[in-house]
Structure 1
């Protein structure tokens, strides 16, 4: 700032945005008794009397934050504090300095000479003093009524303000010149009905114009008792701010008389100044209410608010911010570096770049990053910020919000993960229904794993039938060769051999330090971070291993994805191998009639292996239920019966059972397709009817050679105990039975058309409440179509058998049914059959 010569009676002062005095002219000593060196660097409030300091601080802070220019250029009459403790009435005019000036605002101070003022000036000055200072609006209004009422000879007074929440006038204070001498006045004026029904009061408020009534008795007869028998008069002063009414003041005088000039001046001042004060309080109240609503909304959503001061780097924040970072709740705020250190380095750099670019453009910005809390927990945080500009256009601070989105990110990633896993399972399933060699199917499998699990490379080994050796059959990704050190692995050798020997899966996200990895130096050089391997098991025997390496951390669900794929690969591999054996045996039988009988025995063995691969090797443990199944293969070629039980998410479990018509390798191929397709549909979240419809489409798109399928699909919502809800659908299949704990047997009313025949199918849905002790039973037609002397076992006989085991558990029930059917069936060519029972415990 260019130094200006001191003007007598005028002091020029500069203040920065923190409220500190940065320069002042030397003649401050002559006006207020302070030396310039004493006040430079001191807060401006040191020159303000104590009673006005809070109002000054609030107003100055709003000025700096919002750049409100209303006070700039307007003369303000204010008291200043002298060095000797006295006060000096001064006039203050504010202005904005050039940008090069270190001050945010410049003030010009002039002494107001103590001239003799007219009466109405003294009255308005007294009113101004009554309105100065802090405190509730009611107290300020009462002081103001006391001043003007006493000076104008009023006996009673009351004030109403507009309540934006009620959209009407609300009485806030009443005044009596002689307190207690006028009983009933305060109660009458505070009654909401008075403001609603008094026309002259409403008219003053609506028009925004004050009113003088010579004789109040003409419009309010009951007021006579307040006038000592004289003619009471009344003044109604409209409180107006920015051309809008905000309230009304009533003054009742003992006797009617003309209002003096000084009274008119005082009432005019009262209306404008109180109007401004009331309007400000209303705005403040509404703003405070809005802030409370915002804070409540933010707190209910777990949102933290923060401000970052530029360039100090100091933050102010609520306790929620500390909570989000895992810090003690009473430590919110402090230097920004304290919080930045907890952000993961990669995210910290990215967030800073986004923020800096937006700040340079003076724009709002959004961010998302991960923090590692002091206790080691990783959380995802998201928020937004915006720069706050000062009156000079420079950034004073950055303010914003922050909230925890860990659950959202986790849920979205789980959905994406499930979608990838489902796509992988579908692609592998389609590979194994193709009419092509096993090597091609396995290669499609490893290709799909690399694509959907983002693996560096994936491989499949199969086990030689006559040796404990694993042979590399497919490899995709970083390595595609099938020779080398890992082309043939003995059981128990390397990590692959150990997985095969133990028949246990293995996953690690620290390959370099995993004791099961044979070459950690190779892993380090190649950047391999993770490994997952899964055994291929059929009928309790390991037939191969599926494995992958990745350069990123594998999620926990990777083993679940590999489990679904491994089941398909294991079953498909055994089916392909067995089918090749069958075809070879058929050819051999034609060339060597002498060995036909032995070949047929081998063929029966192959059929048994094939059939065993179409049902699960074991059933899962379902919390709250006893699940048991029995299967009997036919005596000739492999049949088409299948069943399964699997977890589909949360506490929901699916069960399925079905039958492909016909026998032999082709029936086995379609059975594998049907079981896989139905499993995939329920894993993708389809309800039973939708899943059966999806199976129909899959069969129609396959070469089914005119074969059809019947099936039942159900989903159990287990809950925490008590009654379980079951949704079930059936397509051309025998309806499920419900065996109640009482021994009653119910047949579920569901039916539907055969699958694999028509493009449009009709499938009904049934809902079952399964109480503790109840059992649901599903079965294939081999149970009820078992024959003796031309008579079938039948549904009635089945009802009788299951009722006998109502109290004995699921295992006793399936054993009892199988024994009863086997004893009854005397046919030479026994059909395959399956029984699945699920009992609520």
Structure 2
């Protein structure tokens, strides 16, 4: 019996000289099964790889009836295999040309590969010889420790480092090496081998030893000196330190990279904003120019040092405005003094705690716990001061006054509370008549000046005159009734913030030492809560100001609709890392960009500003988005203070006579922009490009396309597609595409608002990461 089948030659599209085709024909003629991989073609002419399996089918008498064929499109697998082969070749080229020493080790600890660097260094002719000689190349004193380190680290299946070991060179000399060992995993996540990258650190160790010796000589030379000097030019941003000042910051005399940035980086993180603000106040032409601060610096070994610095800024008319042209001063090591003051504060706190512990445990704990709950329930500076007054009545006082010491040295009453609501009006009148000026020598001013409590077990007429500087005030106090009084300082972090005055109008309640101890303990807690609220408010204000300054003003663009979304996930004093901009250029083109900086906070803000302003500057002279991103990459690589990188998508729009736009797009490691056609179709615009700020060459490629009326380009950061719902599921690009497909006919602003609303709805109303979206649409013809 003969078999027959439909002719499938159309799948070969003329490509019939494949050996597999001839072998398939013979298998059919011989009635046997056959498996092959063929190049086949679709109706469109597009080639695809086809895995074909044919098997003969026989009847009960053993006669060939027909053949069964199974075929499978394996194009993706073939492409992946070819890509893997190319990657392996590239890897070998990279390793062989790497200046480091690279080796592969199997899971049994045996080396399977050495690059040419090892062969040259060790003088071996082949990897096989080197594998036999390798253990003898390790210095005898290092072998046992190295073996134990490798054995323990292999069990963890994680990357680890070998800080130092000695390896013998071909000429017999030993050099110090460090190594990084990382696991190589298969597609199931299992460790299949280990790759080691070793570095010759012989010169580094010699340099470190020389540096230590030089530092010792420097300490001996400066032992007889104490005061350092500094000189700063705010116009040129040049800062000069003498040798003593360099020593105080942990630098050698030959250190020549002094800058204001270096100064700020040396400060303890908790001091930077405060000291920087103090410097800027001194440089303000409206100020006296005086500078005086104590601050902590973090040395290279992680230790801290207290420094005290005073200075003066000098001003002149420069380019028609009054500006600081020089800022000079001195600096002194006050570590011993500050540690003594901290010890004193600690002893004072212990003394206050010891007194508080003498008070009835139940009364003290119940009251203080309740007070903490009230104070922690408010966040604002003045709210906590008001809560301080309210929490004292009626448990500690019949009425309470809270006064604060302002930054300009004046004193103000900011809160008052009475146990009897009907007498609150008397406290309001007392507030209007109180005098807390420089000429007043009353109790509150003494407390503020000395930082010590004032205790009046029984208030006399003379004491009352001391309490009230005017006749009207004394009359009001008589109406309120003043039997016993405590006035305690609000102390926090070594500063006197104000005074808390407690008054008893009940002759049965006369304040004793236990009451004083409890009041001082409460005042200490209140002061810390108030100071924390003040510091938090200031940090948040600075962060909001900086964040708002980084958001651009989007210009009105003719013949192009614009929609913008920006959602910051930063909390409190943190600053988000996403950014966007729309830049008109001199040649009537438009540059749009959206980016995402690694991290958050001030360092991310600095990179954001660098990215925006670099591209703004380059866009005026370059018509290529790729060139603009290359310039940004070079600028970021020059920033040596910190390692930061970002991803950016950049597009240039150029209008045509018929209302369409020619579009050029480049991206550096950023999510691919999406192109929403007027038909509702969504296309990914994904030119090649690596992350900005990491590689010398980000390998940027531009993609060119055309926007017709009704088309819209959407640039966005990963915060939108990585938004998570309550189940931990990602929003994803597919969902974003679905949203856009249903957005044809919408204005750009409506599209951006739709994306914003859906993102927040998906993530439960709060974004987990920053989100930036820029929608640019060519209006449809009317």
TM-score range, shorter chain: 0.3 to 0.5
Question: Normalization by structure 1: what TM-score?
Answer: 0.31
Larger Rg: 1
Question: Normalization by structure 2: what TM-score?
Answer: 0.33
